[in-house]
């Protein structure tokens, strides 16, 4: 997959409302949203030394994360992703997996060489990656298809136990990773972000270098 850029900002609700109202007048919602939003849950993996978390917190120039992601608690699309980040530049490799493959990945079992995620899983196993934390949140997304631009707002960011059940909405044990009145805005683009979107998203909010993964790893899980 081609490299993309991600800029993150921490907003309060009033500033979110202003920016979202600007975007609504210009851009459509993500077509997968219902009533404007959808739910995401990601099960993140790390090695026994917490290397993925340490690379992020230490400000390493390059850091890598593996995760399994579902949408709206459904098992219809389960995606394994490897995300590499260099500053605001990201590169993502992913494969759709079955629930049976998910079970094997969680247990650290080998997959068939014909599996589309074989190489990703082999890399995870070579580093002894195991489930580390689940991250769940609600997302509101706007898209500008001609340039592949997405502006997203993430609400209700929760840390959950690193269990398969969290991917399918079968657990209520959660701990807020940030205050409920705070929203994370992300601007995602490949080569450039046009000025009209920049103006719509103009904010006094703080630009973030921390990830939702790190926020949730540092939260207390009930």
| Whole-number pLDDT of residue 221 | 53
User: Residue 140 — pLDDT band, cuts 50, 70, 90?
Assistant: very high
Residue 176 in tokens: 């807020």
Average pLDDT of 199-218?
86
Least confident of 48-52, 59-63, 186-190: 59-63
Per-residue pLDDT tens over the stretch 161-174: 999 999 998 877 88
Say whether pLDDT at 222 is over 60: no
* CB count in 10 Å sphere of residue 98: 12
Q: Name which of 38, 14, 77, 44 is nearest 212 in CA terms.
A: 44
Say whether pLDDT at 55 is over 70: yes
User: Residue 220 — pLDDT band, cuts 50, 70, 90?
Assistant: low
The distance from CA 185 to its chain's CA centroid, rounded to whole angstroms, is 12
Please tell me the distance from the alpha carbon of residue 58 to that of residue 52, in angstroms, as a whole number: 10
Please tell me the distance from the alpha carbon of residue 187 to that of residue 181, in angstroms, as a whole number: 20
| Whole-number pLDDT of residue 47 | 93
Average pLDDT of 10-34?
92
Domains in the chain and their CATH numbers? 4-217 (3.20.100.30)
Residue 197 in tokens: 């979107």
Per-residue pLDDT tens over the stretch 118-131: 999 999 999 999 99
Residue 164 in tokens: 């398969």
| Whole-number pLDDT of residue 2 | 63
Which pTM was predicted? 0.92
The distance from CA 210 to its chain's CA centroid, rounded to whole angstroms, is 12
Please tell me the distance from the alpha carbon of residue 5 to that of residue 149, in angstroms, as a whole number: 10
Say whether pLDDT at 1 is over 60: no
Residue 49 burial (CB < 10 Å; 0-12/13-18/19+)? exposed
């Amino acid at each position: 997959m081609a490299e993309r850029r991600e800029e993150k900002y921490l907003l309060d609700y009033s500033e979110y409302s202003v920016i979202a109202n600007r975007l609504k007048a210009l851009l459509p919602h993500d077509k997968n949203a219902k009533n404007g939003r959808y739910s995401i849950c990601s099960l993140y993996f790390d090695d026994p030394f917490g290397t993925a978390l340490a690379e992020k917190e230490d400000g390493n120039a390059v850091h890598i994360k593996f995760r399994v992601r579902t949408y709206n608690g459904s098992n219809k699309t389960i995606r394994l992703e490897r995300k590499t980040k260099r500053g605001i530049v990201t590169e993502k490799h992913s494969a759709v997996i079955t629930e049976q493959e998910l079970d094997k990945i969680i247990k650290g079992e080998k997959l068939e060489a014909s599996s589309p995620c074989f190489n990703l899983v082999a890399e995870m196993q070579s580093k002894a990656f195991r489930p580390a934390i689940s991250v769940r949140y609600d997302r509101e997304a706007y898209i500008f298809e001609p340039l592949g631009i997405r502006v997203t707002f993430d609400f209700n960011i929760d840390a959950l136990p690193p269990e398969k059940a969290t991917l399918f909405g079968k657990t209520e044990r959660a701990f807020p990773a940030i205050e409920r009145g705070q929203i994370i805005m992300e601007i995602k683009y490949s080569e450039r972000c046009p000025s009209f979107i920049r103006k719509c998203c103009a904010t006094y909010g703080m630009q973030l270098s921390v990830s939702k993964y790190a926020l949730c790893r540092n939260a207390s899980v009930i």
